[in-house]
Amino acid sequence: MSEALPFDEKYSDGLQRYIDYYNKSVEDIEEFWDGRARELIWIRYWDQVLDRSNPPFYRWFVGGYTNINLNALDRWVGKSSENKVAYYWIGEDDSKRTISYGELYREVNRFAYVLKEYIGVSRGDTVTIYLPMIPELPISMLALTRLGAIHSVVFSGFSSGALADRIVDAKSKVVITADGFYRRGNIVNLKDRVDEAILDAGEKGVDVEKVIVVKRLDGNIKMHLNRDIWYHELLSEAPNKVYVKPAEMKAIDTLFILYTSGTTGKPKGIMHSIGGYMTYIYNVFRWNWDPSPEDIYWCAADIGWITGHTYIVYAPLMHNMTSIMYEGAPDHPKPDRIWRIIEEYSVSTFYTSPTLLRLLMKYGDKWVENIDLSSLKILGTVGEPINPEVWRWYFNKIGGGRCPIVDTWWQTETGAAMISPAPGLSLVPLKPGSATLPLPGIVADVVREDGGKAEPGEKGYLVIKEPWPGMLMGLWGDPARYIEVYWSRYSDQDRGVWIYYPADYALRDGDGYFWMLGRADEVLKVAGHRIGTIELEDAIISHPAVSEAAVVGFPDPVKGELPVAVVTLKMGVEPSEELADEIKDYVRKFIGPIATPKKVIFVSKLPKTRSGKIMRRIIISMLQGKPIGDVSTLEDPKAVEELEEAIEGMRHTF
Ligand code: WTA
């Protein structure tokens, strides 16, 4: 698995230097993070770096006070850094906006002012943000955190139903949204979905009182009297140079909630802390991208996901970076859109997902050939394992063999990268497809089913053995699920041993490098987005014609995997192609386009164990044309025969 890249020689001493630094960092993680946190601005320093008294509810920088605005914004104003561009924003329709740190600061203060004075938002309130990729999204996040309110950003591609669930769970009384936005040249009517979601949420007992609407399009939408208010009208109430003092927040207070999928139908509200998250992402950003003042940095994710929270909003602002923010589809109007933006803005650091790379690679090299990409210095990927072949294309074709590929393994729960190369510290030799080594302060390992250490080269489960500042603080409103999901599998609670379980397969090679091998639970990664199979099944089952459903992932050359649903119908309903399409469309509307099943397969019975558990493993093997293995626990072998026939019958359509 070891493979020397010509480029490695440049970094031949990188490995030893890195290992020395790493070893020192984990000798005493409290001391290590104490030092790292002092590089930031605090209102009051902490009494204790890490409170381990109530595991797994670890608390970082206890007794400390701060506000993330102090580090992301206030720090840069009143001096030359104020004039630096924070965001070059590019609309899909090619409209443009340039926002300096000074402008961002003033707009955040004005918005915070009206949120407080006119909307009544205060410390600890939860506000749902449902915005496309426009500058008002980071502005809203910062204005809320300035007041000490907690934001819950919902990805603008989610349906009204998914939005309603998240509003209800977070008990948000205020929603910030837009009239709509452009996607692939079409108009998405975001506000219609909000209206529907609010009705839905009301029925579930949460009444949204105020909706603030940013005008991104022509504003030709229905506004509800007394409830809806235009962002620009609201903002015009704020004095021009108003200053809102950042709320003095405890380091252990919640900065935001971000919902992500797990193994039940109910999304989990991941909670991040202010002090710990801020400290972690600040340091990891520097290790990942080796930032320098003249860099033009572009993380091409959506702020609706954790990658955008950390790597488009908070961490780059904390480094006074200039970022690109792009609203639209990566291949619109043509497959060279991304490369043209890199050329036009002389982007130096580019961070994206393997899915996007596979898509652009598929379009062919002709879309890259005449574009000057010489400004690039570092390239990154996140979200799924990257195939070595795609890695090489990225390295050679896009990076011209000059740019390290920073493959970052992490999760919504971890705040920022955990396992990845660190060119900002000391670049280790790279291996295509490996996320390399854990970052400083991170104690990671690979274990067997029974918790014993896996041998080099042996596939096992990734575990994290020490807490880290970017870790989630818990699940919103569900502490028991937090312990159950992340801390029960390998912890020995009686002996006081607590081990974090991310639910990822991994192996370590002979050099100790980590190779991430995909999810080990019933969570799919579709185009890098996390979707729970049970969430999909719940959506399908709510269709009036459906009795039962089993969803599994089917490998896809571009999107990594796509959901395939095996469905039984209610008595008297006949399967048909129209019904299959209707179910696909139904899921699309129920969750969002990213969840649309690739196939719906009808059977009269699902393969289940005698105790009634759906045997997804059998479905996966069959779909992939592999032997189905042990079926001794199967309740009815006929179910397997029927499924096999159904799959073979439609194999040519896959
Ligand atoms: C997967 C995204 C391989 C992994 C930041 C993890 C990866 C899940 C990588 C979290 C990578 C993320 N290599 N797999 N570099 N990065 N993953 O919460 O399965 O959307 O558990 O966070 O993505 O997905 P999430």
> In the chain, what are the domain boundaries?
446-517, 522-653
d(CA 79, CA 77): 5
Å from CA of 208 to ligand 1 middle: 33
Which element (helix H / strand E) includes 142? helix 136-147
**Ligand 1 centre distance from Cα of residue 411 (Å):** 5
The domain at 522-653 falls in which architecture? 2-Layer Sandwich (3.30)
Task: Please tell me the distance between residue 525's alpha carbon and the centre of ligand 1 in angstroms.
Answer: 8
Q: Which residue matches tokens 């009634």?
A: 612
Whether 307 is in the pocket of ligand 1, judged by its Cβ within 6 Å, is yes
Give residue 138's identity as a one-letter amino acid code. P
Residues 6+ apart with CB under 8 A from 52: 58, 467
Q: Name the closest-CA residue to atom 25, ligand 1.
A: 411
C-alpha–C-alpha distance, residues 539 and 265, integer Å = 9
Which residue among 312, 410, 507 is best mutated to probe the pocket of ligand 1, counting the most ligand atoms within 8 A of its Cβ? 410
From CA 3, how far away is CA 433, in angstroms rounded?
11
Dist. CA 366–CA 462, nearest whole Å: 39
The one-letter amino acid code at 562 reads: L
- Closest-CA residue, ligand 1 atom 7, reads 384
Own/partner pairs for 448-451, CB < 8 Å, 24+ apart?
451/490
Token pair of 73, please?
């914004």
Report the atom number in ligand 1 closest to the C-alpha of 518. Answer: 19
* Ligand 1 atom nearest to CA at 525: 23
Give the C-alpha distances (Å, rounded to integers) separating 298 from 56, 80, 350, 637. 35, 22, 5, 53
Specify the residue for token string 């859109």: 337
Does ligand 1 have an atom closer than 6 angstroms to the CB of 565? no
How far is Cα 426 from Cα 219, in angstroms, rounded to an integer? 50
Closest CA to 464 of 484, 489, 482, 481: 489
- Cβ(412) – ligand 1 distance below 6 Å: yes
Which atom number of ligand 1 is nearest to the Cα of residue 412?
18
User: What separation in Å is there between the alpha carbon of 302 and the centre of ligand 1?
Assistant: 15
Neighbouring-strand partners of residue 226: none
For tokens 């009051």, what's the residue?
44
In sequence order, what are the beta bridge partners of 98? 88
Low-confidence ranges of the chain (pLDDT < 50): 1
Question: Is the CATH number 2.30.38.10 carried by domain 446-517?
Answer: yes
pLDDT digits (tens, 9 = 90+) for 566-603: 999 999 999 999 999 999 999 999 999 999 999 999 99
Burial-class residue 46 by CB neighbours within 10 Å (0-12, 13-18, 19+): buried
Helix axes 160-170, 577-590, angle to 10 degrees: 40
What is the reported pLDDT for 1? 46
Q: How far apart are the first and last CA of the chain?
A: 32
Q: Are 193 and 221 in contact (CB under 8 A)?
A: no
* Confidence at residue 533, expressed as pLDDT on a 0 to 100 scale: 93
Interatomic CA distance for residues 62 and 45, integer angstroms: 9
What are the start-end ranges of the E strands in 443-545? Answer: 444-447, 460-464, 474-475, 504-508, 514-519, 523-526, 529-532
Residues 6+ apart with CB under 8 A from 606: 548, 550, 566, 568, 614, 639
- Quickly list DSSP for 283-341: HHHHHHH---TT-EEEE-S-TTSHHHIIIIIIHHHHTT-EEEEE-S-TTSSSTTHHHHH
Q: How far apart are CA 127 and CA 146, in angstroms?
A: 13
Torsions phi, psi for 272 (to 5 deg): -110, 145
Distance CA 441, CA 29 (A): 6
Cα–Cα distance for residue pair 84/214, rounded to 1 Å: 25
Tell me if 523 CB under 6 Å of ligand 1.
no
**pLDDT confidence of residue 570:** 95
Angle at 546 between CA 541 and CA 547, to 5 degrees: 80
Beta carbons of 358 and 164 less than 8 angstroms apart: no
Q: What is the pLDDT of residue 512?
A: 96
With beta carbons less than 8 A apart as the criterion, state whether 121 and 127 touch. yes
**Mutational test site, ligand 1, from 258, 310, 406, 409, max ligand atoms within 8 Å of CB:** 409
Does ligand 1 have an atom closer than 6 angstroms to the CB of 380?
no
Check pocket membership of 411 for ligand 1, CB cut-off 6 A.
Answer: yes
Q: What are residue 296's phi and psi, to 5 degrees?
A: -115, 120
Q: From residue 108, how far is each of 104, 142, 147, 305, 372 by CA, in Å? A: 6, 6, 10, 21, 36
Q: Beta strands of 33-95 (E only): which ranges?
A: 48-51, 59-62, 65-66, 85-90
Pairwise CA distance, residues 246 & 118, whole Å: 18
In single-letter form, the type of residue at position 455 comes to E
Half-sphere exposure of residue 529, counting CA atoms within 13 Å on the CB side? 22
CA distance 85 to 324: 10
516 lines ligand 1 (CB under 6 A): yes
* CB of 526 shorter than 6 A to ligand 1: no
486 lines ligand 1 (CB under 6 A): no
